[in-house]
Structure 1
């Protein structure tokens, strides 16, 4: 598990990732929040999900 820094910026949450996570530039993620409040970033595979829009997360302010 890797800790990241997150900042709220308007309606968005900016997450700072370190380069050692091997993530390509402009990678998009789905957010998944479990019952304990942990947030998981799930990479969007653009070739598989090109027609899928990110889900609208209710209660994003509570993160």
Structure 2
């Protein structure tokens, strides 16, 4: 596990990412901070489906035998 220290630079807090992580200069990320303080970096990609295989994101209906009860679908 690698330990890093946050430092202040101007009005920002900076965290240095070791080059061994393989992140390229200019690469963009979305940051999410959890309630427990954990920070997740998600790489930003232009088209997440560009290299998808046919059927890769298919999610079959789990409730195929579903029948609506009374008038629950009236407002749709």
Question: Which TM-score band applies after superposition, normalised by the shorter structure?
Answer: 0.5 to 0.7
Is 1:40 aligned with 2:40?
A: yes
- Can you give the 5+ residue segments of structure 1 that lack an aligned partner in the other structure? 50-63
Tell me which protein shows more helix as a share of its residues.
Answer: 1
- Can you give the 5+ residue segments of structure 2 that lack an aligned partner in the other structure? 49-76
Q: What root-mean-square deviation, in Å, do the aligned CA atoms of Structure 1 and Structure 2 show?
A: 2.5
Q: 1:42, 1:2 → 2: CA distance?
A: 19
Aligned residue number for residue 26 of structure 2: 26
Cα deviation, 1:5-44, whole Å, max 9, x if unaligned, reads 3333344332200011111111121111112111111111
**Moved runs in structure 1, 4+ residues, more than 4 A?**
none
Structure of larger gyration radius: 2
TM (norm. structure 2) is 0.46
TM (norm. structure 1) is 0.52
Q: 1:11, 1:48 → 2: CA distance?
A: 33
Q: 1:12, 1:28 → 2: CA distance?
A: 17
